[in-house]
Each structure stands twice: as structure tokens, then as C-alpha cells.
Amino acid sequence: MDAVLQARSLGKKFRHRWALADCTLDVPAGRIVGLVGPNGAGKSTLLNLASGMLTPTTGTIAVCGGRPASGPAQLAKVGFVAQDTPTYAGLTVAEHLGLGARLNPGWDAALADTRIRRLGLNPDQRAGRLSGGQRAQLPLTLGLAKRPELLILDEPVAALDPLARREFLEDLTDAIAEQETSVVLSSHLVSDVERVCDHVIVLVDSRVQVAGDIDGLVACHQRLTATDDSQATPPTDDHIVSTSLADERTALVVRTDASDRAPRDPAWAVSPLPLEDIVLAYMARHTASHPTTALETLR
């Protein structure tokens, strides 16, 4: 299976509002995939559709080769940790694990018990009295011990402080390395995605702006800054992602294939781009009225 999640013209409407519209994407199997985009991009709606918590209004979605929540076997393939990392405040840690064991036929009790001990969680403590970081780790433990083919994490660290967020992501990386699980991690914090993911999908207003392995995306994107606007002409052998002004000079973000391109015009100064700047450039391209005509406007 090349894709663990496939969506085609997928849409979800709530009364008169489309939360997701005409979304088409493929999430590669066997990878830790970051799903990034601004608030309101449709990320949570997409992941709720993938988990079977919602049903589509239009289009189709397939997860692990089947329709989400179509039966017990399909449900067993997907683990889902929602944005508010839900737990039952009145249940103890041990009671959460017992509930997980009863609901999931593939439950790995040894994995769950080992994680709880390593994290220092008291099995007799009620979830409502756990710290924010501990409350985030408990549903992650439930999701991992289910032994799913796909683990979906929807903004799992959004409410955590920076230290707790870093610890959670480091623990997630270690846990995933120990089992063969595909992961989709939704976040609007690119730094979190870059820390744990090897593939990224940028979603803006339900549409994929760019997708690919993180190392490859960083390698093929550059920032070009005009050394002299009167001499600089837009490159023709690159895909211009976005344009802006930097110190009153034209700046372009371009996607290029460095293996076969011609030498760069000396009228452009070239600099590399971190992943966050690449993601922001694709968001800016989507919202700009004329994303590739800044040079023409300046002249």
C-alpha cells in the first residue's frame, strides 16, 4: 500500500458552512507525516473524517485500504488522539488502560504498562489531577498500545508549555521508532513538525499547496533577492512560489531543480530557506492576489 490515507474531492459541510471542500491528497504509508496549515485550513475536519468521527458530505476517503469506521477490523487499524487530548477526569490511569484493553483487540498491555512506569504516571491517580504534559501522554499511550497501522495526532501539544511540548515530541519519536506505524501529526507549529516528521503536507483552505519529504523540499527551495531591481528579471526556469519586498528590494521564493538548471543570474543573490519559511511562502502564495508579479509591479 503506497498511501495510508487517500482523499478525493473530499468535503464536509456543517449547515451552511464548508469546513472542508474539494480536498484531494495522499498520505504516504510508513512515514511520520506533518500536516501543517493555518487555523481554519480544514486539518481537524480531515483527520476527524479519517478516524471515522465524521462522515463525508462529498467525495471519498480511504484509510489503510478501507472506509473509515466501516467495521471492527477497520477501527482497529487507526489510533486517534484528538486536539484536546481527551481523558476521563474521574478515571484513574489504570482504569484508562483497562478501558483501552477492553475496547481494542490488539491491545499491547506490556507496552502500555512500560510507558506508564517510564513516564512516572501513578496508576492510581485520576486523570483530572494529572499535569498538562501527563494528560497528553496518557491518550498517546492509549493510541500506541492499540498497535494501529495509522496513528493520527491532531494538535496533540497545542496546550502544552514549550518544555512539556519538547518532551512529548521526543517521547513520540522514540515510541514510533519501536513499532511499524504510520503517523499523521497535525500542527500549525512548523518547528514541531520539523522535529519529528520526515514528510510534510501544507494544507490551506482545504487544498494541498505542497507535499514532499522535508529534506527534499528544503533542498529544492531558495530565496532570491534582487541585487539591482532595474537589472533583475524573473527567472524562467524556476517555479516562483511567492514574492515580497525585503529592504525595498524584490525577494522571491522559488522551487528549482538544481541538477539541470542554468547558472543563476548574478542580478539575484541566493540564500537557502528553512522549512518554516518554505511553508509560509506557500501560505502567502495562496492569499496573495498576484503572487508572481511583484517585479512587474515595482517597475
Q: Which residue has the cell 527534499?
A: 216
Grid coordinates of 119: 513516564
Query: CA 52 to CA 1: how far, in whole Å?
Result: 20
pLDDT band, very low/low/confident/very high, at 287 (cuts 50, 70, 90): low
> For position 174, what pLDDT does the model report?
84
* Overall domain count for the chain: 2
What average pLDDT does range 101-105 have in this prediction?
A: 95
Please provide the average confidence, as pLDDT, over all residues in the chain. 88
> For position 176, what pLDDT does the model report?
83
Domain boundary among 215, 250, 266: 215
Look at residue 268 and tell me whether its pLDDT is greater than 70. Answer: yes
Nearest residue to 24 (alpha-carbon basis) of 3, 38, 40: 3
- 110 with 138, same domain: the answer is yes
- 40 with 179, same domain: the answer is yes
Domain boundary among 215, 231, 252: 215
Look at residue 237 and tell me whether its pLDDT is greater than 80. Answer: no
- 139 with 249, same domain: the answer is no
The pTM score is 0.87
Q: In this structure, what CATH number is given to the domain that contains residue 181?
A: 3.40.50.300
- 34 with 166, same domain: the answer is yes
Q: Domain of 292?
A: 220-298
- 142 with 231, same domain: the answer is no
What average pLDDT does range 222-238 have in this prediction?
A: 80
- What's the full length of the chain, in residues? 299
Domain boundary among 215, 239, 272: 215
- 145 with 271, same domain: the answer is no
- 92 with 149, same domain: the answer is yes
Among 90-99, 167-176, 271-280, name the one with the lowest average pLDDT: 167-176
Query: CA 21 to CA 10: how far, in whole Å?
Result: 6
Burial track 180-200 (b if 16+ CB lie within 10 A, e otherwise): ebbbbbbbbebebbbbbbbbb
Query: What percentage of the chain carries pLDDT values higher than 90?
Result: 63
Look at residue 139 and tell me whether its pLDDT is greater than 50. Answer: yes
How far, in Å, are 39, 132, 292 from residue 280 at the CA level?
A: 13, 29, 15
Among 57-71, 130-144, 280-294, name the one with the lowest average pLDDT: 280-294
